[in-house]
């Protein structure tokens, strides 16, 4: 099935505008369960209930409040929240261009594809320029009543847009405590280097799957057919405090595996 655009806009760089369509680059595959009544296996509904009386609170009597201190709330009405929304826009404004990989990966939140809309000459020219100059654009835009910051990148001759986390959400490595413990010995450094070399390879996305989700989906499919397969608990690997012993054990296992292959 062909990908479906979830939003349309335009990249704005000064007076230049490039019409684009936005597509999601990831898909949520989380296993979700319905909440059922144990007797008749019907879905049950959630209700807002007064914790003191146990009575259900009607929807029209529910308000949104922000707790500024224990037991004290600032009430926000629907009108307040509507007025706080950013003005609607279809512009993905590029404020500046920075060197590739200048922005740390910890800032990145969600990826999107940007496809050309109504002609592609400007679109592919921009993608080519970003690739050749090894630059990426810092972008700001409004989508579905929410303000976003992001990065515009050229990957394999196409444009990608990555949303960025808010500055208050990102923890700098400078704020973390330095790791304690003795420095590794030369022997440990040598073995660690050998371990890295023996596991050198090319990344293949198909090799990395959500094993828990696969097990759950397989189990559900078998139960749906009237079977109740026996599940083996996943064993937890024992941790070793001795780095030297752990490295030697890992190297021995890898060498044994390569000889067997």
3-state secondary structure 82-99: HHHCCCCCCEEEEEEEEE
C-alpha torsion angle, residues 89, 95, 97, 102 (rounded to 10): -90
Query: What's the confidence (pLDDT) of residue 235?
Result: 65
How far CA 170 is from CA of 82, 107, 140, 141, 164, in Å, comes to: 28, 7, 18, 20, 10
**72 lies in some domain:** no
- Percent of the residues in the chain that have a pLDDT greater than 70, as a whole number: 89
Instruction: Flag whether pLDDT at 237 surpasses 80.
Output: no
Query: Looking at the domain assignment, is residue 101 inside a domain?
Result: yes
pLDDT score, position 245: 73
Residue 107 domain-assigned?
yes
Domain count, the chain: 2
Note the pLDDT of residue 130: 96
- Residue 158 located in a structural domain: yes
Tokens of 212: 């828990």
The confidence score (pLDDT) of residue 125 equals 94
CA distance 70 to 68: 7
Q: What pLDDT score was predicted for residue 205? A: 81
Q: What are phi and psi of 29, to 5 degrees?
A: -115, 25
Mean pLDDT of the chain: 88
| 102, 163: one domain | yes
**Residue 123 is assigned to a structural domain of this protein:** yes
pLDDT tens, 15-73?
A: 999 999 999 999 988 999 999 999 899 999 888 999 999 999 999 999 999 999 999 99
Percent of the chain with pLDDT over 90: 56
- Residue 120 forms part of a structural domain: yes
Tell me: do 154 and 119 sit in the same domain: yes
Pairing of strands 135-143, 64-69: unpaired
Total number of residues shown for the chain: 261
- Residue 193 and residue 131 share a domain: no
Q: Find the domain containing 255 and state its range.
A: 183-198+242-261
> pTM here?
0.76
Instruction: Report pLDDT digits (tens) over 145-197.
Output: 999 999 999 999 899 999 999 999 998 888 888 878 888 889 888 888 888 88
For 77-183, where are the E strands, in sequence order? 91-99, 108-116, 135-143, 146-155, 158-164
Q: Going by DSSP bridges, is the β-strand pair 16-24/72-76 parallel, antiparallel, or unpaired? A: unpaired
What pLDDT, on the 0 to 100 scale, is given for residue 65? 96
Residues 157, 191: one domain?
Answer: no
Q: Does 230 reside within a domain?
A: no
pLDDT in tens, 65-116: 999 999 999 999 999 999 999 999 999 999 999 999 899 989 999 999 999 9
């Amino acid at each position: 099935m062909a990908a479906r655009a979830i939003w349309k806009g335009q990249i704005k760089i000064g007076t230049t505008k490039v019409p684009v369509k936005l597509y999601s680059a990831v898909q949520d595959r989380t296993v979700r369960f319905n909440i059922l009544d144990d007797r008749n296996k019907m879905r049950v509904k959630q209700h807002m209930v007064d914790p003191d009386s146990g009575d259900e609170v009607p929807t029209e009597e529910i308000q949104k409040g922000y707790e500024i201190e224990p037991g004290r709330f600032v009430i926000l009405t629907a009108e307040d929240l509507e007025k706080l929304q950013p003005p609607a826009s279809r512009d993905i404004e590029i404020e500046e261009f920075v060197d590739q990989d200048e922005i740390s990966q910890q800032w990145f939140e969600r990826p999107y594809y940007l496809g050309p809309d109504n002609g592609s000459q400007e679109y592919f020219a921009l993608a080519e320029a970003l690739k050749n100059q090894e630059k990426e654009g810092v972008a700001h835009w409004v989508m579905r009543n929410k303000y976003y910051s992001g990065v515009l990148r050229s990957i394999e001759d196409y444009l990608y847009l990555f949303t960025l986390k808010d500055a208050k959400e990102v923890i700098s490595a400078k704020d973390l405590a330095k790791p304690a413990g003795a420095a590794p010995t030369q022997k440990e450094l040598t073995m660690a280097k050998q371990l890295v070399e023996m596991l050198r390879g090319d990344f293949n996305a198909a090799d990395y799957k959500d094993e828990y989700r696969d097990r759950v989906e397989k189990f559900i499919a078998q139960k749906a057919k009237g079977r109740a397969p026996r599940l083996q608990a996943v064993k937890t690997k024992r941790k070793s405090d001795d780095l030297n012993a752990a490295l030697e054990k890992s190297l021995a296992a890898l060498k044994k595996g390569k000889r067997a292959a």
